[in-house]
Structure 1
Amino acid sequence: MNFLRTFLASVLGTLTALVIGGIILFVLIAGIASAVNSEGSSSALIQDNSIFSLKLDLPILDNVPGSQEFQVSLGLDAESVQLIDLVTAIDLAKANDKIKGIHLRSEYVQAGWAQTKTLRDALVTFKESGKFISAYGDYFTQKGYYLASVADSVFVNPNGGVELKGLASEILYFKDFEDEYGFKMEVIRHGKYKSAVEPYLSNTMSEANREQIGSLIASLWETIGSEIAEARNMSVDELDAIATELKANLVENAVKVGLVDQINYKSEYIELLKNKVGISEDDKLKLVDYNDLLAGNAAYKKGVRDKIAVIYAQGPILFGDGSESQIGDQVFVEAIEEAVKSKRVKAIVLRVNSPGGSAMISDIIWNALEDAKKEKPLVVSMGNVAASGGYYIACNADTIFADPMTVTGSIGVFATIPNVKGFTDDIGINAEHVMTHKNAVGYSPFEPISPGFRKSALEGIEHVYETFKQRVADGRNLSLEEVEALAQGRVWTGLQAKENGLVDALGGLDAAIEAAAELAEIEEYNLTSYPKIETDFDDIFALMSPFAAIETKIKSALPREFSAFIEASTSEENQALQIQARIPFSLDIK
């Protein structure tokens, strides 16, 4: 019997090894084939009179998951695209004489406003080279039209239109829900504007929160509106009138008010493109996509030893290892240390796209960056959001770049602790405690927090807040009084942050990289990305699981604030007090 068990175990182990080995072999072969195809699809094979087809139909991320490379190697479609790849492709198209222009499809852009502006700036530079940009859409969302407005001509489907309505931010409030069902979030905070916790304390928006959100979206619209108006040769007042009365919703009206140039079906538009580049009606339009441009791209300079490390800090700041979408201390401290130890890396660029999170982890990462700055130049590039903990880890850089539409600041801290006593009382559950000391229970979800616990937590929050302000004062060469005036949890756009001294300059990742090279006194360099997160088979199989797709759909269907309420209530981190340096509201600007 033992022999049979051993035999079966051996057979099972062998089969498992063969399956895994087969998968690895398949991936290696696919990777080699992909590399061969890349060589064969280099820019040298792009035909004369080609057009770059820039279709923005995937989520645009600062840093794509490592598992995506595996998916693509299997012949599966990519699920996202990296911002720097799109910008590089636009630059390559500008430099390639065989490419005459860009065919832009940007109806539904899945990117933040700062990322969208980075793309628009790249398109403006492309257009300044003398090449054309034509934009076509069945219907343009506001963000999509912001991109399309840079085009020489905008074409829309006869049944389409343009969404131009201004900006709004919607926030859900839970106080009545908490009172009705007995679920409560105990809140301890510091900062006049630290209103991430406001929805748990009230059912209406405070004047302080209304003020900061109003100021924020007005600043964002200032950039959006002025750039669209300039591109379409109209005044900002004229554009505001169009947005106020929704005058462009129908395509005929969009033409009348000057936002659209022509009404065409796509087939008619394609014929117009052919005529523009001198292709006969019988021939096919020669289109290339961003993968064609990147394939065989000699962006990596052979023989150049110097490097600039780009460390992507994307997502919330949490306890744990970290990943491409979460900033954890272990992975990111290791990434910083690796960049410092590498003799080839001459400067570090930290790309921050984070709403913040754990105050403790933020300080641990800040400390690692402070040590790194003593060895090599450190430049920060802020993406869509670099607020609270995201600003904490950025504030000590030699130079900070933000996009005008970056959301930053939010210098303030808070703690939320779930309490379900009202609910458990209603259903007949009672928790009893036996203690050696009066505060021995610490925190229990079944009891209101004690005065002693609240006092201790508030002391911790005050300590973190003072430390946060000191970090900013030291990093930005400001007095504590000046920092206090900018702090209290208030958020700012990148444009406002440049004016008040929280950032040094306005610009994207490319500008930050150039500044890092200048500080390091190097002219030629290659880029290397961190953190280098390896994808294991557990990650791969999890991606293939049908349950993962179901979970994603359920989460996406829930209101963001409700998801946050559920996650906060069930998080292991809330079993003990966790002080948060996080943006003061769930930012949903539309």
Structure 2
Amino acid sequence: MKSFFKSVFATVVGIIISSILLFIVLFIIIGAIAASSDKPVEVEENSILYISFDQPITDRAPASPFDFSRFSKDNRVGLNDILANIEKAKDDDNIKGIYIESTVFMGGMATAEEVRNALIDFKESGKFIVSYCNNIYTQSAYYVTSVSDKVFLNPVGLVLINGLRLQTTHIKNTLKKLDVEPTVIKIGEYKGYGELFEYDKMSQPNREQLERIANTVWANIAQGISDARGISVDSLNYIVNNLELKDPAQALKYKMVDSLIYKGDVINYLKDITGTDYKKDLNAIKLSKYIKVPKSKSYKGLAKDKIAVLYATGGIVDGEGEEGNIGGERYAREIRKARRDSSIKAIVLRINSGGGSAMASEDILVELLETKGVKPIVVSMGDVAGSGGYYIACLADTILAGKNTITGSIGVIATLFNTEGFFDKLGISFDVAKSHEYADLLSGVKPLRAKEKEFIKHYVGLTYDQFITHVSNGRNMTKEEVNEIGRGHVYGGADAMDINLIDSHGGLNDAIEIARNMAGLDEKYRVVELPKQPDPIEQLIKELSGDAKVRAMLEPLGIDSETYLEIKNTLTTQGVVARMPYMIEMN
């Protein structure tokens, strides 16, 4: 009995101590959030805007500076913040120029293109941009910063430019070892998503289309570097093909950089061009702080008219979804609310998605169709907007994409698994009593029969026909013309305009400007971002769920949150999907 009371007492003490510790953690988190609130920041005269791209770049900045799943600072930075603040700095008399210090660019190639274009626009003000790399200039970082007036490199650094690769993942042999039999039913020989399960390498049609994308995106990157650095594209390709940039001296020889100097020399150069005394510190303000500087307006008060930017990022899933994916019901509701809100004069749909559930894509598209004609709809494509991502874009009034965007993939696929062999290895068997012959069609523990495959194929065909019908209506093409460029074919943004998948090349800011003009708005308007992000406390409660624990366990294995969500969406999405080749990586 004595030991029993000791156990009870120890448990009670443990609960009290845990509660106190949790309270302290919550107090620290709330304090950190309060400290990072949007208090106005003033910029000193003769300042430099300091930018680094060494943090993950997402389309939209997180609502909280704290990552509750890791109980650490959230280092992600929003493309929306980067673009808005480069534009703000252009007209800020206190900002004399931009200093970029980065070795990597932690965003996709289309994101890199948008940032690069924003920097080019900034230079029109006559202000300077200086870039420095203290280590290894990776390909995407160099592409972005090559527009700088001066590109400096550490004397023991390196410029690593070796061309683009598109890498796909395949788990055919994993399924074979587990004795799981996949059945893939698709429309279109280019629909590469099922190759994840069917093959241990790319099919020839898929290889051809991905090589085409790699070459067209590289052509845009090479032309950009050529224009900025005064190096011919042929010379640049020679340098890349022969790995000529093997040391810093070669980078200087081929005019990839302007000087090989140390950081202290860069600081002195910045002091020279800003007229700062060598004995004084530079007036520099980080982007994370400059975000809090109010933007000057040409009008007084709060603008009533709004343009809604709806961020659609991640896989398209049935139901509500969660942060990091596109729930069909949630996004349909957001569009419906925006349509009914009289203060919202136009909608910009920002898409960064390789697709997902065909049913959820249809739910979203139906609401967009209801909205079309009521108020302008402009689509802005990010790094990827294909398959289901293109499905929800195709009926917009105007579609914009970057030249480095991956889009298209007009096709449909259904993937089913027979796990009978897997469970047999575990000593588990299944039996069934049924009322009708095909009642066990989707049981997942038996091979599909010919009639069942034909049944599913017919439905996949209907979904594909619905897909190309939407594209036909939205893009003013015949269904035959859509099918010709469809069949799961993936395209780079440079090719997409030639075949009428998009209307123009441009980024998020361009889309907002087009929406403003279509809505007939003057300069007095404001941008509202949707869906509304959860407040920090609500986010904390969510992150204390099982998902956060799973992510925390997987991260030491090199599986990040985005990869986890991709895997989860793949395993949980039911029925027919409109999805691009699984987890394409472009580096």
TM-score (norm 1): 0.89
Q: 2:283 aligns with which of 279, 282, 286?
A: 286
Decide whether aligned partners of structure 1 residues 14 and 420 sit closer, same or farther in structure 2, where only a CA change above 3 A counts.
Answer: closer
- Alignment CA distance shift 1:388-1:100 (3 Å): same
Displacement of 1:27 in angstroms is 7.7
2:553 corresponds to which residue?
551
Is contact 1:555–1:563 with CA below 8 Å preserved after alignment?
no
Q: Is 1:85–2:84 an aligned residue pair? A: no
Post-superposition CA distance 1:490-528 (Å, at most 9, x none): 011111111110111110011111111111111121111
Q: CA deviation at 1:267?
A: 2.1
Q: Deviations over 1:296-316 (max 9, x none)?
A: 313676242111111111110
| Aligned equivalent of 2:243 | 246
Q: Distance in 2 between matches of 1:583 and 1:223?
A: 22
Does 1:391 find its partner at 2:393?
no
| Higher mean C-alpha displacement, 317-326 vs 506-515 | 317-326
Q: Is the 8 A contact 1:380 1:512 kept in 2?
A: yes
Q: Partner of 2:152: helix, strand, or coil?
A: strand
Q: Is the 8 A contact 1:108 1:143 kept in 2?
A: yes
Is structure 2 residue 137 aligned with structure 1 residue 135? no
Equivalent position amino acid for 1:257 in 2: Y
Residues 1:236 and 2:233 aligned together: yes
Residue among 189, 192, 197 paired with 1:195: 192
273-282 or 119-128, which deviates more: 273-282
Q: Give yes or no for the alignment of 1:433 onto 2:432.
A: yes
* Secondary structure, aligned partner of 1:351: strand
Are 2:148 and 1:148 equivalent residues in the alignment?
A: no
Q: Secondary structure at the match of 1:500?
A: coil
Give, in angstroms, the shift of residue 377 of structure 1: 0.8
Q: Please list, as runs of the form range in 1=range in 2, the aligned pairs for 1:52-91 lying within 5 A after superposition.
A: 52-66=49-63, 68-69=64-65, 77-91=73-87
2:274 to 261, 273, 277: 277
Which amino acid in the other structure matches residue 396 of structure 2? A
State the match for 2:120 in structure 1. 124
Tell me which residue corresponds to 1:534. Answer: 534
In the alignment, the residues of structure 1 paired with residue 261 and residue 544 of structure 2 have an alpha-carbon distance, to the nearest angstrom, of: 41
C-alpha deviation, 1:579, in angstroms:
0.4
Q: 1:253 to 1:33 in 2, by over 3 A?
A: closer
1:95 aligns with 2:91: yes
Cα distance in 2, alignment partners of residues 560 and 94 from structure 1: 33
1:114-159 deviation digits (Å, cap 9, x = unpaired): 1111100011111222111111112111001101211111111222
Q: Deviations over 1:436-462 (max 9, x none)?
A: 211111222321122232122111100
What's the counterpart of residue 38 of structure 1?
39
The yes-or-no answer on 1:297 pairing with 2:303 is no
Of residues 249, 255, 259, the one that matches 2:256 is 259
Q: How does 1:447-526 map to 2 (within 5 A)?
A: 447-523=446-522, 524-526=524-526
1:561 Cα deviation after fit: 9.1
Q: Summarize the Cα distance change of 1:158–1:221 in structure 2 as closer, same or farther, 3 Å threshold.
A: same
- Unmatched runs of 5 consecutive residues or more in structure 1: 1-12
Contact 1:194/1:488 (8 A) holds in 2 = yes
* Percent identity for Structure 1 against Structure 2: 34
Question: Deviations for 1:535-560, whole angstroms, at most 9, x for unmatched residues?
Answer: 47463155479846633514634999
Residue in 1 that maps onto 2:9: none
Match of 1:4 in 2: none
Q: Which moved more, 1:315-324 or 1:427-436?
A: 427-436
CA distance in 1 between partners of 2:191 and 2:245 (Å): 37
What is the CA–CA distance in structure 2 between the aligned matches of 1:470 and 1:255, rounded to whole Å? 54
Measure the CA separation in 1 of the matches of 2:410 and 2:108. Answer: 22
Does the CA-based 8 Å contact 2:62-2:77 persist in structure 1? no
Aligned residues: 566
2:445 counterpart residue number: 446
Structure 1 CA distance for aligned equivalents of residues 234 and 572 of structure 2: 51
CA distance in 1, matches of 2:141, 2:257: 13
Paired AA for residue 398 in structure 2: T
Q: Distance in 2 between matches of 1:514 and 1:499?
A: 23
CA contact (8 A) 1:439 1:450 kept: no
Give distance in 1, aligned partners of 2:487 and 2:277: 64
Q: Give yes or no for contact 2:353–2:385 (8 Å, CA) kept in 1.
A: yes
Measure how far apart 1:223 and its partner are: 0.6
Residues 321-363 of structure 1, C-alpha deviations (whole Å, 9 max, x = no match) = 1344110022211211111111111111111111100000000
Aligned residue number for residue 424 of structure 1:
423
1:499 aligned counterpart, secondary structure: coil
Q: Give the distance between the partners of 1:340 and 1:311, measured in 2 at CA.
A: 12
Amino acid at match of 2:429: N
Counterpart of 1:406 in structure 2 is: 405
CA distance in 2, matches of 1:563, 1:23: 27
Distance 1:24 1:547, change over 3 A: closer
1:240-276 deviations in Å (ceiling 9; x for gaps): 0111111114212111111111112222222222222
Question: AA paired with 1:127?
Answer: K
Contact 1:51/1:102 (<8 A) preserved: yes
CA distance in 2, matches of 1:422, 1:27: 49
Within 2, Cα distance between the matches of 1:372 and 1:18? 51
1:63–1:314 CA contact under 8 A, matched in 2: no
Residue 7 of structure 1: aligned partner: none
| Letter aligned with residue 210 of structure 2 | I
1:109 aligns with one of 105, 108, 126: 105
SS at match of 2:75: coil
**1: CA distance between counterparts of 2:564 and 2:82?**
34
**For the Cα contact (< 8 Å) 1:439–1:452, is it kept in 2?**
no
Helix, strand or coil for the counterpart of 1:88? helix
- SS of 1:110 mapped into structure 2: coil
Flag the 1:563–1:395 CA change in 2: closer, same or farther, 3 A.
closer
Cα 1:242–1:329 change in 2 (3 A) is same
2:85 maps to a residue whose letter is A
Whether the aligned pair in 2 keeps the contact of 1:156 and 1:263 (CA below 8 Å) is yes
Q: Give 1:232-381 correspondences, 5 Å limit.
A: 232-298=229-295, 302-381=301-380
- SS at structure 2 position matched to 1:38: coil
Aligned to 2:381, the other structure's residue is in SS state: strand
Q: Distance in 2 between matches of 1:20 and 1:566?
A: 29
Contact 2:356–2:573, Cα closer than 8 Å, also in 1: no
Cα distance in 1 between the residues matched to 2:440 and 2:319? 26
**Aligned partners of 1:193 and 1:584 also within 8 Å:** no
